[in-house]
Amino acid sequence: PCALLLAAVLAIGWYIRDSLKVDDFNQKHVLITGCDSGFGNLLAKQLDRRGFAVIAACLTEKGASDLASAASPRLKTLLLNVTDSESIKRAVEFVSAEVGERGLWGLVNNAGRSIPVGPTEWIQVEDVTKVLDVNLIGVIDVTLRFLPLLRKARGRVVNVASILGRFSLGGGGYCLSKWGVEAFSDSLRRDMYYFGIKVGIIEPGLFKTALTRVDLIEDDQKRLWDHLPQDVKDSYGANYFHNYIKAQNFSMGILCSSDLSKVTNCMQHALTARYPRTRYAAGWDAKLLWIPLSYLPSFIQDFFHRLIFPAPKMKRCVE
């Protein structure tokens, strides 16, 4: 009884602490990258409704125009390519003029890409670089450029990682980039603690966004397969590509959620809570499958991976 009472008191105390909010949303500027669609687009509208001064960075003119027409006049848009240093420099100048001496309260590094992705042997170094440039180097570059403005506000950095930053499910640059985001965020959080800047990591499971469009992923994997040497194709077998795509699409169909608010609510908490969490797992699959699996021994993780994907035709004999 005493243990249960203590547990209940601790749970209630944690809930109350977790619910405490910061003040004056209307005086706080938040910059979000990757707002053309998906999580960034929804978060920009969500924070705009809460009264934040949102600066939504989009990759395309159409994305910026569509978002501006769906939000209040308070929301500002800008064009930003996170792989282009000059584009980032222009964004810093724009945001500096907007925030003034108040500084930047929040930076949400949301921009990302997933393809090319597939079995590791199918991938070229250039394929990996395309993803790392956006998902990791872009995050680092943008964050470092905006740190002076974040220091002024003693603000927040919210980095979008992934459950694939804990459990590597495929080859290519995506899992590599998200593991890198986890490491960068941990280092940044520890260094910025002394300056009052808090760093949160969002770890979504699988959601229906542009990054998980199976048609785009499948088309690119067909490109990778077609460029393989014939002897490598033969080692996988004539039916391997078809079976791989079938297994991938089946898994995505079961696990992908269409409720993007599960992710944006975590982002919002990281920006509004007086005591934000270090990590946010978003989605039932992240909480109940991927994150628990990431703590299990490697041989169990490997067995689970073999359950999902087909085996090549010329697989070696297991010793």
Q: Please state, in angstroms and rounded to a whole number, the distance separating the CA atoms of residues 127 and 117.
A: 8
Structure-block tokens of residue 155: 């603000």
Concerning whether 193 is annotated as a catalytic residue, the answer is no
End-to-end Cα spacing for the chain:
52
The β-bridge partners of 188 are none
Q: Which of 15, 174, 193, 236 is catalytic?
A: 174
What six digits make up the tokens of 28? Answer: 């706080």
Give the C-alpha separation, 3 to 141, whole Å: 48
Q: Is 308 helix (H, G, I), strand (E, B) or coil?
A: helix
How many CB atoms sit inside 10 A of residue 54's CB?
28
Q: Are strands 198-204 and 279-282 parallel, antiparallel or unpaired?
A: parallel
Residue the block writes with tokens 């297994």? 247
Catalytic residues: 174
